[in-house]
A and B are shown apart, each in its own frame.
Chain A
């Protein structure tokens, strides 16, 4: 496992830096350009969620080896208001910020593993992983 690197998310410029960093790290791990874009898109959505709901937070990136597979782990955390109803927030089209409501469910579809821990006034931590496909 590599040393984690954290990027503070506090403005729209940070959203761009976070997804660019994610793409670079994904390239280092050997993800295809298609998967790099998928990972960057997922990062963009969760970074935007931090801005919209918590106003600031951080995204941590690291690479991971598990047996003979390698991948990337991205953790987004904030101390914001939290998500009152996580299952509902994971449904397409549900938004309390006036957005399209595709951020969380969309990011989940893009990644292999997606885990949300959140409670009202306790902030939100989203952990997502993508594994490099070794066959086909």
Chain B
């Protein structure tokens, strides 16, 4: 199932609606990396609230997605990791190191606003 990607201002928001196969996750990564260029996005939010499980493949794909979009000039934040999903991730040894996370969509937007502002203050 393809994940819908919405454009809101300078941001892209991908809202995962149901359990995803490995192919769906890879497709999402490719689509977001491409669309960062197409829409000149500065930030990406991936909402994983509906994900039932984050296993090693999902974590690796999301981590790669975040690093790839960063190389394209957009910061990614993963939002909505559920408490039990976080528990299982830590037990598995999956930490999403080096990837920004936020509680929910609202916090994710606040995070991106801060990041984008910090970047533009720099120049």
Q: Which residues from chain A sit less than 8 Å from chain B, CB to CB?
A: 12-13, 15-16, 19-20, 23, 33-34, 36-38, 40-41, 44-45, 48, 92, 99-100, 102-103, 105-107, 109-110
Contacts and interface: CB of A to CB of B under 8 A. Distances in A.
Chain B at the A interface: mostly helix, strand, loop or mixed?
helix
A109 B94 CA distance: 12
Interface in B39-71: 52-57, 59-60
Contacts of B88: 37-38, 40-41, 110
A16 B91 contact: no
Interface of B: 19-23, 52-57, 59-60, 82-85, 87-89, 91-94
17 contacts: A12-B21, A20-B52, A33-B84, A36-B84, A37-B53, A40-B53, A41-B92, A44-B53, A45-B92, A48-B22, A92-B93, A100-B59, A100-B94, A102-B93, A103-B56, A107-B92, A110-B92
Given A41-B55, A99-B56, A13 B21 contact: yes
Contacts, number: 77
B56 A48 contact: yes
B19 A16 contact: yes
A37 B85 CA distance: 6
Given A12-B22, A37-B85, A38-B84, A19 B91 contact: no
Nearest to A101: B56
Contact of B57 (A36, A38, A48, A107): A48
B52 A40 contact: yes
Given A12-B21, A37-B52, A106 B93 contact: yes
Contact of A20 (B19, B84, B91): B19
Contacts of B85: 37
Select the residue from A37, A40, A41, A103 with max chain B CB neighbours within 10 A.
Answer: A41
Contacts of B53: 19, 37, 40-41, 44
